Every structure is written in structure tokens, then in C-alpha cells.
Amino acid sequence: MLATSFTGTLSERHGNAVERIPTPQRLVDWLAVSGLSVDSCTTAQLDLARELREAIHAAATAAAIQDALPAPAVQVINDYSAQGRAAAILTPEGKRRWRLSSASGVEDALSVIAADAISIIAGERDGKLALCASPTCRAAFFDTSQSRTRKWCDMNTCGNRQKKARFNANQRKIPRSAE
Ligand SMILES: [Zn+2]
């Protein structure tokens, strides 16, 4: 999911937080792999991206625990959604692609992400917002599993870490044999 992977660019929010878009170029790179290629990004635009990211995080977290949506976050998401001029384009292969209009395209890309967040939070998609079970993470993620019982935002990070922690705990329980 575009919007929740975007909020995941700040990971371990309740532990030692890791900023995965520390520079404008890293945001450009992230947008490119997410199907939203932009030409350039300024420091000011990176700040805009982070503002939107935190608003989505706050709103998605509230939605996941069925809390009232925080009004300031909703306002930010709506503002960003409205200000972009991205166009959905159908490719000959039948895929959707985004065409960004402005010179740099960052605001357009952010509007696509904001609109994606709106559709997830509004419950338009087949899936359920949930919070990662890792106490140092607690990221809001979109669970599209059949049973809707996914526990971690990402099996490769939080899921694996949890598995390893459990494995180590079990290892410690096994008494050492006499050597
Ligand atoms: Zn997690």
C-alpha cells in the first residue's frame, strides 16, 4: 500500500527511530520505486512530504484502533490531496500509471499518496488497518490477508526480529550440558 509504506519511511517510531528519507534525494528515490518519478526535490518539499507522512500516520493509527480521526491530520491530508495535479493514465498493457504535471512533481506525488491514504482510511479497499505488534514499531499497516490476522507491518523486519527474539529466549532456557 502506497500510503502505509510511505509512513513506514520513519521506522521504529517507538524505539530508536530510523529516518529513511533523510535527504531530498532519498525521497526522490523512494518515489521512483513507488511509481511516482519526480525530477527533483527541494529541502522545503521534503518537509512537506514529512508533514503529510506524519498526518497519515496519525490518522491511520486512529483508524486502526477505531478512535476519532485527529482533525489537524485530516486537514493536512485533505490539503495535500487537493493541491496536486496528478492524472491517472491507463497504459496499453492495462496498468494504471500516474502522470505528474508540475515541473518538479513532488506536490503531485504527495497528492497521490494523500488520496491513497484517504481510500484506505475510508475503508474503500479490501483489507483492514492494524498496528504492528512490535512494541518499538507500532506502525499502522494495511492487512490484506484472508484472515485479517497479520501481526507485523513487515515480515522481513518486525516479524523476523520477533521470531529471532523468541528463538534466543528459547535457547537461553535450554540448560547447558556438562562439558
Ligand atoms: Zn512493525
Express each pLDDT in 140-170 by its tens digit: 999 999 999 999 998 888 988 877 877 787 7
From the CA of 161, how far away is ligand 1's center (Å)?
A: 10
From the CA of 148, how far away is ligand 1's center (Å)?
A: 16
From the CA of 158, how far away is ligand 1's center (Å)?
A: 5
pLDDT in tens, 18-41: 999 999 999 999 999 999 999 999
From the CA of 155, how far away is ligand 1's center (Å)?
A: 8
Q: What is the mean pLDDT of the chain?
A: 92
- 118: closest CA among 107, 108, 129? 129
Query: What domains can you pick out in the chain, each with its CATH number?
Result: 2-128 (1.10.3300.10)
Name the pLDDT band for 56 (thresholds 50, 70, 90).
very high
Q: Is the dihedral of CA 106, 112, 114, 120 positive or negative?
A: negative
For the cut 60, the answer to whether the pLDDT of residue 91 exceeds it is yes
From the CA of 116, how far away is ligand 1's center (Å)?
A: 20
From the CA of 159, how far away is ligand 1's center (Å)?
A: 7
Q: Cα–Cα distance between 113 and 133 in angstroms, integer?
A: 24
**Cβ within 8 Å of residue 121, ≥6 positions away:** 59, 60, 63, 69, 129
| pTM of the shown model | 0.89
From the CA of 132, how far away is ligand 1's center (Å)?
A: 5
Q: Cα–Cα distance between 152 and 149 in angstroms, integer?
A: 9
From the CA of 154, how far away is ligand 1's center (Å)?
A: 6
From the CA of 80, how far away is ligand 1's center (Å)?
A: 26
Q: Cα–Cα distance between 21 and 23 in angstroms, integer?
A: 6
From the CA of 62, how far away is ligand 1's center (Å)?
A: 16
Cα separations in angstroms, 133 against 9, 122, 125: 18, 23, 22
